[in-house]
Amino acid sequence: MPQVWRRVSDAPRSRWNAGVCVAQRRRGLSEGGAVEVRGHRGCEVIHGIIRRWCFARVTPCGTRRRSMARKRVLVTGMSGLLGTAVRARLEGAHDLTALNRRDVPGTRTIRADIGDFDAIRPAFEGMDVVVHLAGYRGYDWESLLRANIVGLYNVFEASREAGVKRIVFASSGAAFGGWQRQEPYKSIVEGLSGEVPASLPRLGHLTLPRPAGIYGCTKVWGEALAWDYSETFELSIL
């Protein structure tokens, strides 16, 4: 059955390598769910997901076993920080293709903008897994709209059309970061409150999203779209 989790750490522990997830957590703000991963630490989480979950098989009795077969993996935004680190982890073990606006030396690259649906469709044909890392983090609305709204929809729809079964989607702590502006969490983040009371409600994956900025709003949209595609089509999205 298709499944999607709002955060990396919402996935059952057996489906990703908890040992490599060394995510930075703000004290008192997370309870396994609201975790923001950055840079190479984010890569460790993504690599753990791909290695332990995306490339496992489901046996007839419902248990999961590791598949040793090479997978065809499409990585969007491979030239970015996370994309470069993910490439270093997966290269050699699986057949990688980059969907990028510029060439990625040493890797098969399909140059296209994810905001152009017709241009990116051929890249998804024959792929087993799509790792979607491309996006825009800034304040220009037109760029956010093209990359994080239209572009994300294009990636999901092209995956569906091509018969891709699994997508790893990079969301952001910004989808949850607005809580840091509210008391008592604001004082905790700023280090003004001393010890965190044990009775303080923790923010987890069941807490309503409260995005920080327009960028965070686009990531909430992405998570909502992931839910819809997972429940409507035969797509597993993490």
Query: Does 79 map to a domain?
Result: yes
Catalytic residue IDs: 215
Provide the pLDDT for residue 193.
Answer: 66
In a domain, 174, yes or no: yes
Q: Is there a domain that residue 168 lies in?
A: yes
Total domain count, the chain: 1
| Residue in 131, 134, 130, 169 with CA at minimum distance from that of residue 148 | 134
- pLDDT (0 to 100) of residue 47: 56
In a domain, 108, yes or no: yes
**Is residue 1, in this structure, part of any structural domain at all?**
no
Q: Is residue 3 part of a domain?
A: no
Residue 65 is predicted with a pLDDT of 52
186 alpha-carbon distance from chain centroid: 26
The answer to whether residue 2 sits within a structural domain is no
Range(s) of the domain holding residue 113: 8-237
Can you give the CATH number for the domain in which 40 is found?
3.40.50.720
Confirm whether 215 is domain-assigned.
yes
Q: If we measure between CA atoms, which residue out of 179, 183, 167, 168 comes closest to residue 216?
A: 179
User: At a CB cut-off of 8 Å and minimum separation 6, what does 28 contact?
Assistant: 185, 188, 196, 200, 202
pLDDT tens over the chain, length 238 residues: 444 444 444 444 333 222 222 232 333 333 333 333 444 455 555 655 555 545 554 444 444 555 558 899 999 999 999 999 999 998 888 999 999 999 999 999 999 999 999 999 999 999 999 999 999 999 999 999 999 999 999 999 999 999 998 999 988 888 878 778 888 778 877 877 677 777 777 777 777 888 888 999 999 999 999 999 999 997 899 8
